Amino acid sequence: MYHEEKRVAQGRIEVICGSMFSGKTEELIRRLKRARIARQRVVVFKPVIDVRYSADDVVSHDAHSQAAIAVEASHGITAQAAEAQVVGIDEAQFFDEGLPEVCNQLARSGKRVIVAGLDMDFKGVPFGPMPQLMAIADEVTKVHAICVKCGNLAYVSHRIVNDDERVLLGEQQEYEPLCRQCYEKALKG
Q: Are 11 and 111 in contact (CB under 8 A)?
A: yes
Distance CA 172, CA 30 (A): 23
Nearest to 186 by CA among 164, 157, 166: 157
Per-position DSSP letters for 24-71, written without gaps between them: HHHHHHHHHHHHHHTT--EEEEEETT--SS-SSEEE-TT--EEE-EEE
Catalytically annotated residue among 91, 97, 101, 184: 91
| Strand, coil or helix: 127 | coil
Nearest to 154 by CA among 23, 4, 34, 48: 23
| Strand, coil or helix: 186 | helix
Residue 30 burial (10 A CB sphere; 0-12, 13-18, 19+) = middle
- Respond yes or no: is residue 83 known to be catalytic: no
Distance CA 18, CA 156 (A): 8
- C-alpha 162, offset from chain centre: 26
Residues classed as catalytic: 91
